[in-house]
Amino acid sequence: MNNEMTLSFVAIEENEALARMTMTCFITPLDPTIEELSEFKTIVSEAVTNAIIHGYDCDGIRKVTIHGKIEDSKVTMTVSDEGNGIFDVDQAMEPMFTTKPLLERSGMGFTIMESFADNLSVESAIGQGTVVRFEKTFSPVTEKSRMR
């Protein structure tokens, strides 16, 4: 199955759940396992939360954009913001590194995203924003689901 979508929303915390729910619905036709689905949902949640909190400081004005594309059993997604940007991407991707310890951010977001996604990449420029791109391939169609 092939499909493509774009979702855009202002940077408020409430939209984290919106993004998780929408992207979960988007990939449901691929018939993912429960674990694949929850790993995918976690990647979405981490990337979107980063854009809202770190990209835009929850300003409620500027917009986070998610683009999703399904080609057969592979999903390609980008989460983009035009906000603060990341000073040092390599440092940001180190486990436990966070610029917001007072908000109890664990610094594990990128570690989790890298573990659960295929081919995660991050492009960022100070004052221009950040684009997180990843792929995730879901398990091949089973006999049972092929018969539906």
Partner 1 sequence: MTDIAITKNGIIVVALRGELGNHEANRIRTQISSEIFSGKVHGVIWDLTHLGFMDSSGIGLILGRMRDLAPQNGETLILNPSATMEKIFQFSGLGTVVRHCNVEKAIGEIGGVLHEQ
Among 31, 49, 56, 129, binds partner 1 (CB under 8 A): 49
DSSP 94: S
Among 45, 80, 84, 130, binds partner 1 (CB under 8 A): 45
Contacts (CB under 8 A) with partner 1, residues 118-137: none
Binders of partner 1: how many residues, by CB under 8 A? 27
Binding mask 53-82 for partner 1 (x = CB under 8 A): x-----------------------------
Among 4, 17, 71, 125, binds partner 1 (CB under 8 A): 17
Q: Exposed (0-12), middle (13-18) or buried (19+): which is 77, by Cβ within 10 Å? A: buried
Helix (H, G, I), strand (E, B) or coil at 100: coil
Task: Kindly indicate which of the ranges 8-16, 80-88, 121-129, 136-144 contains the residues binding partner 1, using the contact rule CB under 8 A.
Answer: 8-16
Helix (H, G, I), strand (E, B) or coil at 31: coil
88 vs 91, 106, 108, 124, CA distance in Å? Answer: 5, 17, 16, 9
Closest CA to 36 of 109, 139, 132, 143: 139
Site for partner 1 contains 38 (CB under 8 A): yes
Q: Is the Cβ–Cβ distance between 112 and 42 less than 8 Å?
A: yes
Site for partner 1 contains 108 (CB under 8 A): yes
Site for partner 1 contains 105 (CB under 8 A): yes
- Compute the CA torsion angle 120, 123, 124, 125 (nearest 10 deg): 170
Q: What residue ranges bind partner 1 (CB under 8 A)?
A: 13-14, 16-17, 20, 35, 38-39, 41-42, 45-46, 49, 52-53, 95, 103-109, 111-112, 115-116
